[in-house]
Structure 1
Amino acid sequence: MHGYEDETIRQEGWDAPAPRPRIDAARLWSGGVATAVVAALIALVGVLVVRAVFQVAFSGSREAGAVGDSSTVVLCVLAAVAALAATGLAHLLLLGAPRPLAYLGWIIGLVTTIAAVLPFLSGRPLPEALAQAIIHLVIGMAIGSLVTGAAAVASRDVRRFDATH
């Protein structure tokens, strides 16, 4: 007898190779693109709220108007790119990580924390740093929840389909 290798375990399928993961890539990536749009819009709305409601000269001088300057566009584009990067990471983790959604949540959570802390290290005035940190936090939370949800649905639906056919 060699430890756990007995007939009972072999019969229960413990020594069978794990099935290859199946992912509905179209569903995952369409969710990722939708998340990119949402993230970019959160960035834009965040800048508008900070500039118009709180009168903080974030993303340009006060004379730049409600939308700010070109750094608003950069923030929106980076938010969209972050959502697409999170989707790519989700796809990669779904292909081979043991608990892909747990790892995805931790990675997105830690990157969001970094993005929320960095503005305080930039030397900007506190109101601007706080505004930027809150915008980054909301963007990260949206990306985390939406991409994780898309990944869960993209992997669950394929397994459900396989079980019925």
Structure 2
Amino acid sequence: MSAPQGGWDRNYEEPTRPYPPVTEPKGAHRSAVDAGKLWAGGFGTAVVAALVALVGILLVRGVLGIHILSPSDAGAYGDATTTTYAFGAFAAAILATGMLHLLLLLMPRPMSFFNWIMLLVIAVGVLIPFTVVAELESQFATAALNFVIGICVMSLLNSVSGIATRAARGPAGGEGIGLP
């Protein structure tokens, strides 16, 4: 019989202290999207955006006396253009919700992309009124209203996304090895 070479095969014993639990590497968690919560929040955001547009137009036309979106003889509410503007804000919020849903499902760091996209869309909305022929105060009022609507949609959908996503646990939603 020969003697062991390096001692590796001699009565190997497990250490007395337990090993730490097995966990997934950092960043390995996936996000699961609760589509019902996301779209319910998106619908609520769209309603708020439409109401912000309506209140903003009433404020600008009725209180400040700045005639935006329709002629001065149309009154504080304006005309059908006001309703179209409110529906446009509603539709923009629904589109933003759809974009957010796709980003949450497909992108790494989806909220970073969402915020950048929204900030650029807001910038476009603020700049567009200055590309048409109108009184300067009407251009500023429309740009400010577009800004407020955009920030409203962005901030509400940021909140909704936090509630509509949760960390998935393991491959079958909670059956991962060593996860608390």
Q: Same fold (TM over 0.5)?
A: yes
**1:44 and 2:85 matched:** no
Among 116, 119, 136, the alignment partner of 2:146 is 136
Using the TM superposition, give the Cα deviation of residue 13 of structure 1 relative to its aligned residue in structure 2, in angstroms: 5.5
Q: Which residue in the other structure is 2:71 paired with?
A: 61
Distance change >3 Å, CA 98–CA 51, structure 1 → 2: same
TM-score by length of 1: 0.84
CA distance in 2, matches of 1:21, 1:121: 41
TM-score by length of 2: 0.77
CA distance in 2, matches of 1:124, 1:108: 26
Among 126, 131, 134, the alignment partner of 1:121 is 131
**1:89 and 2:99 matched:** yes
DSSP-derived class of the 1:22 partner: strand
Asked if the contact 1:90/1:148 (under 8 Å) is kept, the reply is: no
Asked if the contact 1:101/1:152 (under 8 Å) is kept, the reply is: no
RMSD: 2.3
CA distance in 1, matches of 2:24, 2:54: 52
| Higher share in helix | 1
Distance change >3 Å, CA 38–CA 13, structure 1 → 2: closer
User: Higher Cα Rg: structure 1 or 2?
Assistant: 2
Q: Which residue in the other structure is 1:8 paired with?
A: none
Using the TM superposition, give the Cα deviation of residue 12 of structure 1 relative to its aligned residue in structure 2, in angstroms: 7.3
Alignment of 1:67-78 (within 5 A): 67-78=77-88
Q: Gaps spanning 5+ residues in structure 2: where?
A: 1-21
Identity rate of aligned residues, in percent? Answer: 40
Using the TM superposition, give the Cα deviation of residue 62 of structure 1 relative to its aligned residue in structure 2, in angstroms: 2.0
Asked if the contact 1:116/1:136 (under 8 Å) is kept, the reply is: yes
DSSP-derived class of the 1:59 partner: coil
CA distance in 1, matches of 2:24, 2:144: 49
Q: Which runs of 4+ in 1 moved over 4 A?
A: 11-14, 162-165
Q: Gaps spanning 5+ residues in structure 1: where?
A: 1-10
Letter in 1 for 2:132: S
Q: Which residue in the other structure is 2:3 paired with?
A: none
CA distance in 2, matches of 1:125, 1:58: 9
Asked if the contact 2:29/2:168 (under 8 Å) is kept, the reply is: no
Alignment of 1:102-121 (within 5 A): 102-121=112-131
CA distance in 2, matches of 1:110, 1:150: 20
